[in-house]
Amino acid sequence: MPALSDFSATTLDGREQDLAHFRGKVVLVVNTASQCGLTPQFAGLEALYEKYVDEGFLVLGFPCNQFAEQEPGTADQIGAFCRRNYGVSFPMFAKIEVNGDDAHPLYKWLRTENDVAGEEIEWNFTKFLVGRDGHVIKRYAPAVDPESLTGDIEDALGS
């Protein structure tokens, strides 16, 4: 049975990142967009990252342009926007697709984990909390504020 550590992805600066590097961490995987009504969630995601990074928590951001073309920028533009407007310091990856035949393998797997088989990603800022064992604990709808995940993150970090 696959786990988060079985995948890799390209970072915003073009490096291939083996996600096995994050083995043993609690990870929040989020598809992002910089021109979405939910874009201010970057601030909450960064706050969670800063609060829990020393305890073994990470946020991994995956820009996606599949929803109303709300992430049209280049990797450099995306990175600059996230740093300048929201102080994003958590790992960000190159733009991917999350649904359809060209969906990134990570997202094909995420959509089959934890009783969400076949459910497409409905919009930007869909979140997946992945436990230290590399398996999805919970999926959160796009409108769920990052700050409301604190209890689940603390539970995952404690287990």
Residue 106 in contact with residue 61, Cβ under 8 Å?
no
Domain boundaries, the chain: 23-158
Per-residue pLDDT tens over the stretch 38-48? 999 999 999 99
Per-residue pLDDT tens for 66-125? 999 999 999 999 999 999 999 999 999 999 999 999 999 999 999 887 665 568 999 999
Helix and strand numbers, DSSP H then E, in the chain: 4, 6
pTM: 0.96
- CATH number of the 23-158 domain: 3.40.30.10
List strand residue ranges (DSSP E) for the chain, in order. 8-10, 16-18, 26-32, 57-63, 127-130, 136-140
pLDDT of residue 116: 54
Active site positions, annotated: 36
What angle, rounded to 10 degrees, do the helices at 41-52 and 150-158 form?
30
